[in-house]
Structure 1
Amino acid sequence: MKYVIGIDLGTSAVKLLLVSQTGEVVQETAKDLPLMQVKSGYSEQDPNDWMEQTVAGLTELIEAFEGDPAEIEGMSFSGQMHGLVLLDEQEEVLRPAILWNDTRTTEQCKQIYEEMGAKRLHQLAKNPALEGFTLPKLLWVKEHEPEIYEKAATFVLPKDYLRLKLAGTLHMDLSDAAGTLLLDITRQEWSKELCRMFEIDESLCPPLVESHADIGLVKEEIALATGLSPSTRLFAGGADNACGAIGAGILEEGKTLCSIGTSGVVLSYETNGDKDYQGKVHYFNHGAPDAYYTMGVTLAAGYSLSWFKNVFAKKEEFSTLLADVDSVPPGSGGLLFTPYLAGERTPHADAAIRASFIGADGSHERRHFVRAVLEGITFSLKESLELFRSQGKDITEIVSIGGGVKNKAWLQMQADIFNAKMIKLASEQGPGMGAAMLAAYGCGWFESLKACADAFLQEEALYHPDPERVAVYETLFELYRQVYPATAELNKQLAAFRL
């Protein structure tokens, strides 16, 4: 039997999967990662911690593996997007990595718009200038830490640093490069215009490769330290959302993913990079060859439910909290919830907006509020879905992953609100499985990633939209969409009173 390893470098942990040639997860482990938040809005990590914990995870996998390590043919990577890792000429880290959820770069985002203009930025990078992206981070370091910036020979993203230390070769794949705001998405090359506009030396940008590219063998010292075979091949890997799409089989036109974790994502496959969403959704290169994906984000999806539980049912299990949801009809008895606890991303890039319950009266019980929270999260995700449909996309099937698949009533709610068939996979491993599939494809096990997905992924359950509930939810959705414009200015004024 042959095997591959998928490594998913997240923010809170690095997860490792050992996957067989039949798609079975034979071994898995996760190692926690510390986060540094030295002041409000700052979020950093030490890249050396990524390496240390990954080596520990690989060692644990190999020790538990009953086969010959030489049977593990390949390894690939998924990683948190946007994080800035600056390296000197010796490829050593110059400062802690500035992560995707770091918000110190508001002024740099304003600078990007002032100097480039939103229209031209969207033409090149296909994305808005947001605090999480890499270019604003580069500009922040350039302004506030010039002595460090002057020493920088290159920058990489988190999983690229990990791969560099494991294989000794420097690259960045297209799917992760698309999240830097320096890539010409359509041409699939670093944008000379963007680099020139912001005085970024193009030599700082690492060589670009496809996600399935073979970038060399594991270093001998890593093989010795972990028990891996020195013949293990390493493949470039991809951004976590791109790998999550691969791991869910979003590999052809019309395929769409709904992922509900702390945040929520609606992601749809695109065959080309020429659609114009006017910056309202993210537009990135896929981990699949010569493909793209568009993505809308709800900042507080699963977080809204966790918040409600922690405030109103702290000692209860989620299963108990959700037990009566199905006893409440669509519309929660005239109660609407908007999941803006942490601001919102799509379609309202608004850091000041906050959540609302609308329509509460004395007849409402806790179960009504719980259902309203689930409906509000799903309505927010539907806003992204409708942006895709407005571009002519025919979305009739959606793969649902994350916390949204743990409750049957919520899955049916998604089918009814989205007006699409919802697919629950038999085994859900997310970006780590996508990374493993990139390694399997790179090793030549399959002629395409789609063929790999057909072999590795199986459907467990289907949820079909009910026409009567679809009609009810269409009416409620139009009411939901009125809440944001009605409360936006009010929330800006309330900001002065927040703790």
Structure 2
Amino acid sequence: MRGGGKVYLGIDIGTTNCKLGLVDKDGRELEPMTFKTPVIHPRKGWAEYDCNTLWDLISDSVKKITSYYNCQDTLNGIAISSQGESGLFVDENGIPLMNAIAWYDDRTKSMIDNLESKIDSDEIREITGIETNYIHSLFKMQWIKVNSPSIYKQAHKWHCLSDFLVRKMTGKIIMDYSLASRTMLFDIRNKEWSSKLLDVAELDIKLLPKPVPSGEIIDSVKSSVKKEWGIKGNVSVVSGGFDHMVGCYGLGANFENQAVISIGTTESLCLYSNSYKDAYYPGFSQGRHVFNDSYYILGGMPSGGETIEWAIKTILNYENVGTVGFDSLKEAIRGSDIGSNGVIFLPHLKGCVTPNVDSTSRGMFVGLSIQTTSNDLIRSITEGLCFEFRLIIDQFEGGNLESFLAIGGGVKNQEWMQIKADVLNKKVITLEINDAVIFGAAKLVADALNEPIQLDENVKRKVYYPENESVIKYEEIYRKTYTRLYELNREILRRK
């Protein structure tokens, strides 16, 4: 596959890892490149990204992947997906004035009360489609204004990670609708920045990029960047989007009630809608989808795959999570019975979002005994993630969700996927593709250039069917115990 025909580059800036992958004109994926997202923790609860380092790592990876596949002359375009909410201020030349504040950085919790004293949370949700949550970009911008006024005074634009990189590549200043939907400043029905929220938050609209649809040709890669990368010809840069939604685009999940489970550091339930939903689903958000003129409905938990990695490191004692650690995890799951010998785990290591927005909630084990083994703990963690996802599903009443497409790194854990099918009592379908988000970004490029691609028809699907005996056992645990854990946990934490 090396050196033949047009190729499209998808870049995904994830919470834990960044990935770059090429897709050819026939929809075939080339093996992607991965590097750790360069995160810094200046204080407890804080997380930042050095965007100059991020750019250098991406540039190095583009050079390597295009050289390896001998496609310096046939790279046709690039699109970038990224985590939502993370962002930074830059000066008028696009130079970072600060490290980007990661979406999960908790320094902004103190900013919420001030905003909610000025505008009702229902009105915020009516405009933006999202619940008030400290993770959103609005609060990061406010925090900088209050705590680093010199940076705010110099600020020319606020950028999420994708649009910062687009600016580096093209010099253009844009933000796609799907990422704008994660700022808590975007009027999702009118597709424009909300003057109401900007006034209430006391933020200047001039700080925000021009909002554009996903899949729009922004410009070509600058000649200076092409020279640095060693590529030739015209290479278009196309607006990408919010990573979960770009993954859905790659799967072609653009019809009502098609449920996609996106499993990365977080775990999300992604639903497509042709229209804004007036119904209120606690803990769910809405926003503009990557698909043209449509919406997404999003629910989830802030720690999905991250919880699995925590279990591998903390309980199985693998300092570096890798193939050996994941194999040991799978073996541990198989080494315990359904119900984990009475142990139940609440996976709120980083709080919860759906159906309850509560960043103060914490994880807990229930039912430990002297007979409890490490295998029981590992299986209970996996089951707990599935029970929590069942709570999310039960809160959504938008239609009959008969099956789920699952994407992300977690789909390689077959034991987890089978437990999920049993707990949900639904089919869970996985696709044997390298990365749905990378493919979705590459597809956005190809479609924008009128050179549409589809998933390789030879991509295999694996279907996990719910097993009746397991379904019955899990249903009893879920109804009798798990649905009560959050309230019990909250009561205990209040007494501290």
2:481 corresponds to 1:477? no
In structure 2, the partner of 1:460 is 461
Q: When the two structures are aligned, how many residues end up with a matched partner?
A: 486
Mean Cα deviation higher: 312-321 or 267-276: 312-321
| SS at structure 2 position matched to 1:116 | coil
In structure 1, the partner of 2:400 is 394
Matches of 1:248 and 1:129 in 2, distance apart? 30
Is the contact made by 1:154 and 1:204 (CA closer than 8 Å) also made in structure 2? yes
| SS at structure 1 position matched to 2:277 | coil
Is the contact made by 1:32 and 1:53 (CA closer than 8 Å) also made in structure 2? no
2:24 corresponds to 1:23? no
Is the contact made by 2:31 and 2:434 (CA closer than 8 Å) also made in structure 1? no
What is the aligned-residue RMSD (CA, Å)? 2.2
Which of 339, 345, 356 in structure 2 is aligned with 1:331?
339
2:291 corresponds to 1:299? no
Matches of 1:217 and 1:83 in 2, distance apart? 25
2:91 corresponds to 1:88? yes
Deviation per CA, 1:335-363, whole angstroms, max 9, x where unpaired? 32111223222222223322222223345
In structure 1, the partner of 2:63 is 59
2:481 corresponds to 1:488? no
TM-score, with normalisation over the residues of structure 1?
0.91
**Moved >6 Å (runs of 4+):** none
In structure 1, the partner of 2:284 is 281
One-letter amino acid of the counterpart of residue 38, structure 1: P
Shift of the 428–65 alpha-carbon distance from structure 1 to 2, 3 Å rule, reads closer
Matches of 1:222 and 1:431 in 2, distance apart? 24
Which of 268, 272, 275 in structure 2 is aligned with 1:272?
275
Shift of the 445–149 alpha-carbon distance from structure 1 to 2, 3 Å rule, reads same
Is the contact made by 1:352 and 1:492 (CA closer than 8 Å) also made in structure 2? no
One-letter amino acid of the counterpart of residue 348, structure 1: N
In structure 2, the partner of 1:440 is 446
In structure 2, the partner of 1:4 is 8
Is the contact made by 2:332 and 2:374 (CA closer than 8 Å) also made in structure 1? no
Matches of 1:340 and 1:84 in 2, distance apart? 25
| SS at structure 2 position matched to 1:310 | helix
In structure 2, the partner of 1:341 is 349
Matches of 1:321 and 1:56 in 2, distance apart? 33
In structure 2, the partner of 1:190 is 193
Matches of 2:15 and 2:41 in 1, distance apart? 13
| SS at structure 2 position matched to 1:194 | helix
In structure 2, the partner of 1:317 is 325
Mean Cα deviation higher: 427-436 or 162-171: 427-436
Q: Report how far residue 128 of structure 1 moved.
A: 1.8
Shift of the 12–313 alpha-carbon distance from structure 1 to 2, 3 Å rule, reads closer
In structure 1, the partner of 2:131 is 128
Q: Report how far residue 13 of structure 1 moved.
A: 4.1
Is the contact made by 1:175 and 1:284 (CA closer than 8 Å) also made in structure 2? yes
One-letter amino acid of the counterpart of residue 326, structure 2: F
Mean Cα deviation higher: 50-59 or 117-126: 50-59
In structure 1, the partner of 2:42 is 38
One-letter amino acid of the counterpart of residue 126, structure 2: Q
2:211 corresponds to 1:177? no
The equivalences for 1:199-218 within 5 A come to: 199-218=202-221
Matches of 1:46 and 1:307 in 2, distance apart? 24
One-letter amino acid of the counterpart of residue 414, structure 2: K
Is the contact made by 2:28 and 2:456 (CA closer than 8 Å) also made in structure 1? no
Which of 399, 402, 410 in structure 2 is aligned with 1:404?
410
Give aligned-pair identity as a percent. Answer: 27
Deviation per CA, 1:173-214, whole angstroms, max 9, x where unpaired? 000000000001122211121112222222222111111000
In structure 2, the partner of 1:258 is 261
Is the contact made by 1:401 and 1:428 (CA closer than 8 Å) also made in structure 2? no
One-letter amino acid of the counterpart of residue 443, structure 2: M
Is the contact made by 1:126 and 1:279 (CA closer than 8 Å) also made in structure 2? no
One-letter amino acid of the counterpart of residue 347, structure 2: P
In structure 2, the partner of 1:106 is 109
Is the contact made by 1:246 and 1:453 (CA closer than 8 Å) also made in structure 2? no
Q: Report how far residue 457 of structure 1 moved.
A: 8.0
One-letter amino acid of the counterpart of residue 434, structure 1: G
Q: Report how far residue 100 of structure 1 moved.
A: 0.8
Which of 136, 139, 164 in structure 1 is aligned with 2:142?
139
One-letter amino acid of the counterpart of residue 381, structure 2: V
| SS at structure 2 position matched to 1:115 | coil
Is the contact made by 2:352 and 2:361 (CA closer than 8 Å) also made in structure 1? yes
One-letter amino acid of the counterpart of residue 480, structure 1: Y
The equivalences for 1:226-241 within 5 A come to: 226-241=229-244
Shift of the 311–169 alpha-carbon distance from structure 1 to 2, 3 Å rule, reads closer
One-letter amino acid of the counterpart of residue 312, structure 2: K
**Where does structure 1 lack aligned partners over 5 or more consecutive residues?**
447-451, 495-499
| SS at structure 2 position matched to 1:66 | coil
TM-score, with normalisation over the residues of structure 2?
0.92
Matches of 2:280 and 2:247 in 1, distance apart? 22
Shift of the 76–404 alpha-carbon distance from structure 1 to 2, 3 Å rule, reads closer
Q: Report how far residue 104 of structure 1 moved.
A: 0.8
Q: Report how far residue 456 of structure 1 moved.
A: 6.6
One-letter amino acid of the counterpart of residue 482, structure 2: Y
Is the contact made by 2:13 and 2:161 (CA closer than 8 Å) also made in structure 1? yes
Matches of 2:87 and 2:306 in 1, distance apart? 26
Matches of 2:102 and 2:364 in 1, distance apart? 29
Deviation per CA, 1:79-114, whole angstroms, max 9, x where unpaired? 122122212233332222222121111121111211
